[in-house]
Chain A
Amino acid sequence: GNSVTQMEGPVTLSEEAFLTINCTYTATGYPSLFWYVQYPGEGLQLLLKATKADDKGSNKGFEATYRKETTSFHLEKGSVQVSDSAVYFCALSDPGDFNKFYFGSGTKLNVKP
């Protein structure tokens, strides 16, 4: 079946530190992969996505590469800011099942000044 596993949080970093949030997946078909961000009290916003192997999604300094050989989609940012503090969700969509989304459990990021 389909599932997404994310590293447990919270992750606490100082401003300008390097960020990695690990995400691995299992899938029956050829999924698309997504990272969403949820700021306190708000809904989820798309951060980036990739639709096939070796694609790199990027946005606002965040990057993730679709690695089929390691079934991973790790999120990275070279220099985090306090404003990046939020919960980050990795997700996959299964095009063979009405694009049903499967979300990871979320990773809370705290960035300290």
Chain B
Amino acid sequence: EVQLVESGGGLEQPGRSLRLSCTASGFNFGDYAMSWVRQAPGEGLEWVGFIRGKAFGGTTEYGASMKGRFSISRDDSKSITYLQMNDLKAEDTAVYYCSRDVYSSGWYFQEKWGQGTLVTVSS
């Protein structure tokens, strides 16, 4: 069974950094692209970015508002993908989901989702 478990969320102060982890199991992790998607309280979904699988170089892409402060990496030996968030702002407060992605019709979609981890940025 495919499982994705996010961790690392919590309360952090503005300007600080936080690293989220997504631990995968039940599939060959290295073969898949992995995304991060966030959802602010009461708001819709926002794509944070993703990292391709090893066959495609493990390259990353980010949403326009994430570039520069957020970075995604992966450790295929541990089946973990990370989201490093720097210079946190109040507007980064959200539930952060990781997903296993599949390529279709020119891009990727989020096939399986984790349960999410809440990040609250406040002084």
| Chains A and B belong together in one complex | no
Q: Residues of B at under 8 Å CB distance from A?
A: none
Contact surface of A with B, Cβ cutoff 8 Å:
none
